[in-house]
Homo-oligomer: A and B are copies of this chain.
Amino acid sequence: MTNIIPVDTKLDLVLKRELNVPVSLVWRGLTEPELLKQWFCPKPWGVSDCRLDLRPGGEFYTVMRDPDGNEFPSTGCILEVISEKRLTWTSTMVTDFRPAKPVSADDKECANISMTAIISIEAIPEGTAYTAHVMHATPEQSKLHEEMGFSEGWGTTVKQLEELLNQEIA
């Protein structure tokens, strides 16, 4: 069921972290909209709305809000839901596997990077091993995503997730 998808270093970006919270709680943070809204965007940006339909083909809807209150809605498609193990979604499709509107290859907007994200979590003595494996179509898209701050951005949000979940425990 949880077949491993190989990393292509020319096309993919990977972020690994160890979180000091149990895997069951990390799964809740990934899959409950009210929790996801609190960590999914690096502050002072935020997420003002979120809907997750946890099934293959289900909606992955978020509205990012900048510090001035401008909102940026985005719909992706959930591909895999393996409880407390793996959540996969893509920006290449919207709800019910419908193709997303075409992205121009030279569009420089962050929202226009096509990607599939595989978040894998696993219990370790310290808590949870967290891996984000983000796949792109071309080396150019991968490089662009890295230059736009993938490592810093996703790293910051995972830190926010860990802090939030520690508050949930406390």
Please indicate the chain B residues that have their CB under 8 angstroms from the CB of A118 in the complex: 97
Q: Which of B79, B91, B102 contacts A137 (CB 8 A)?
A: B102
Contact B56 A80 (CB under 8 A): yes
Distance of A137 Cα from B96 Cα, bound (Å): 12
Contact B104 A104 (CB under 8 A): yes
Contact A102 B99 (CB under 8 A): no
Name A112's closest neighbour in chain B (CB-CB): B102
Question: Known contacts A56-B79, A57-B79, A80-B56: does B135 contact A97 (CB below 8 Å)?
Answer: yes
Q: Is the CB of A37 closer than 8 A to any CB of chain B?
A: no
Residues in A1-47 with C-beta less than 8 Å from chain B: 3, 5-6, 8, 11
Contact B138 A98 (CB under 8 A): no
Stoichiometry, copies per complex: 2
Please indicate the chain B residues that have their CB under 8 angstroms from the CB of A111 in the complex: none
Distance of A101 Cα from B135 Cα, bound (Å): 12
* Of A98, A99, A135, most B-chain CB atoms within 10 Å: A99
Contact A90 B99 (CB under 8 A): yes
Q: Is the CB of A88 closer than 8 A to any CB of chain B?
A: yes
Q: Which of B93, B98, B101, B116 contacts A98 (CB 8 A)?
A: B116
Please indicate the chain B residues that have their CB under 8 angstroms from the CB of A138 in the complex: 101-102
Contact B104 A99 (CB under 8 A): no
Distance of A101 Cα from B138 Cα, bound (Å): 7
6 contacts between A and B (CB under 8 A): A79-B79, A88-B97, A93-B93, A99-B136, A101-B105, A102-B105
